[in-house]
Amino acid sequence: MSTQAHLYLLLWLMLNSCEASPRQVSVKTLKCTENLCEELNYPLETEVAYFTEEIAKKLDRYTELVLRNSHLRQFPLNVFKTLEQLEHFDVQDCKVQQVAPECFEGATNLKILQLADNLIDSIDASTFALATKLEILDLANNKLQRLPSKTFAALAKLQQLNLDHNQLAELPAQLFANQLDLQLFSARGNRLKHIAANALPTVQRLIISDNPQLKRLHLAGNIRILQADNCHLQSLKFDQPEQLQQLLLSNSQLQNLDFLHNAINLLDLDLTGLTKLPAMPKPWPAQHLERLSISYENSTNWPDQTLSELPELKVLDIWHDQQREIYIKEGFAQLNNHNIDDNVGLCAQLELFLGDSTLPKHINVFDSQLDHPEGYAMQCPGVELSEPEELLWFDADFDSLT
């Protein structure tokens, strides 16, 4: 154990020395099917489950343990001293409220910890001080309201962190100063108002969608993918825009697109919901852009102007007059008379190609090489949308939308 980890644990013990500790209740039997265990019920604040040697004999051949259909107010004790081989511990939806630092004694092999869908309302620098090998931590759908700046200081090997759907209002400076390997951070559906510019120095994929109170964002790190849909952003700044590959910014309130200057490697840009598009950067920096999603009014020449400046554009997704049209240039797939009548197969290809997009209910396919010169109309199974939409596929290059 590192000196820093010892200090965090000692601090926690000092702060809690005057509080009554919950009574340790030995778990000698556990209902398990292989490594999936259920009905571990210790709902009282005064009790904490304590794993025993009997449990070790039953589970000592597994490196992954999953708990389900359980009620644990306290995270169980002695798990990793009893099952020191564990690399992955999944305790999702078990009503956990408190996680004590000593729970991770012996967690020398723990790499993945899933605590999503619980009731945890606070963590600090001592909480994971002994889980120094953690690479993936999932705390989504809890009740966290704040993160002290040193909360994850002991987790130097952390690569992915999921904090979706908590109640966080801020990501403080130096939050991940020790996490040189952290690449994916997700905090969708929180109450974020402020993210310190240096809070995420190494993160490459940042997911912060559905934080409507976040108005301004300045990122100093090495961001390649930013998903910030429904954030109502008014201003956006990157210190390293040349690293950007994907920007998903639907339903923002951006007043300018200055952040695109020097975004020379951008491949995917979503500005849908921004009906009054700001002026396009000149010259357009992202010459390799492959996908563009926008909303526009009749008064703008964005679509035609964009097409003339983006030689590598493959998908143009347009919302206009409450309708949606997706234009797909050549390179989508090899369509021919054999599979054009196979709706299921074609829908599967379209869904795969469009990624996260929901397929429209009504699809028209146009291709000069098909026996349907007037267009082939089809529907994808299972698609139910309230708004009228249309997807258009063209094999030939498109030069204008008029």
Q: In this structure, is residue 221 part of a structural domain?
A: no
pLDDT digits (tens, 9 = 90+) for 53-77: 888 899 999 999 999 999 999 999 9
Q: Is residue 6 situated within a structural domain? A: yes
Enumerate the β-bridge partners of residue 376.
365
In a domain, 346, yes or no: no
Q: What is the pLDDT of residues 218-270, one digit of tens each?
A: 999 899 999 999 999 999 999 999 999 999 999 999 999 999 999 999 999 99
Amino acid symbol at 65: L
The pLDDT tens digits for 41-51 are 999 989 999 99
In Å, what is the CA distance from 224 to each residue of 54, 175, 203, 362, 365? 48, 19, 8, 34, 33
In a domain, 335, yes or no: no
Mean pLDDT score, 352-372: 59
Helix/strand/coil percentages in the chain, nearest 5: 15, 25, 60
Does residue 302 lie within any of the structural domains? no
Give yes or no for residue 381 having a pLDDT over 90: no
Residue 81 sits in a domain of what CATH number? 3.80.10.10
Residue 211 lies in a domain: no
Is 99 within a domain?
yes
How far apart CA 92 and CA 75 sit, in angstroms, is: 11
Give the range of the structural domain holding residue 65, as residue numbers without chain letter. Answer: 1-203
Count: domains in the chain: 1
Output 232 or 275, whichever has higher pLDDT: 232
Asked whether residue 358 is domain-assigned, the answer is no
So what's the pLDDT on residue 93? 96
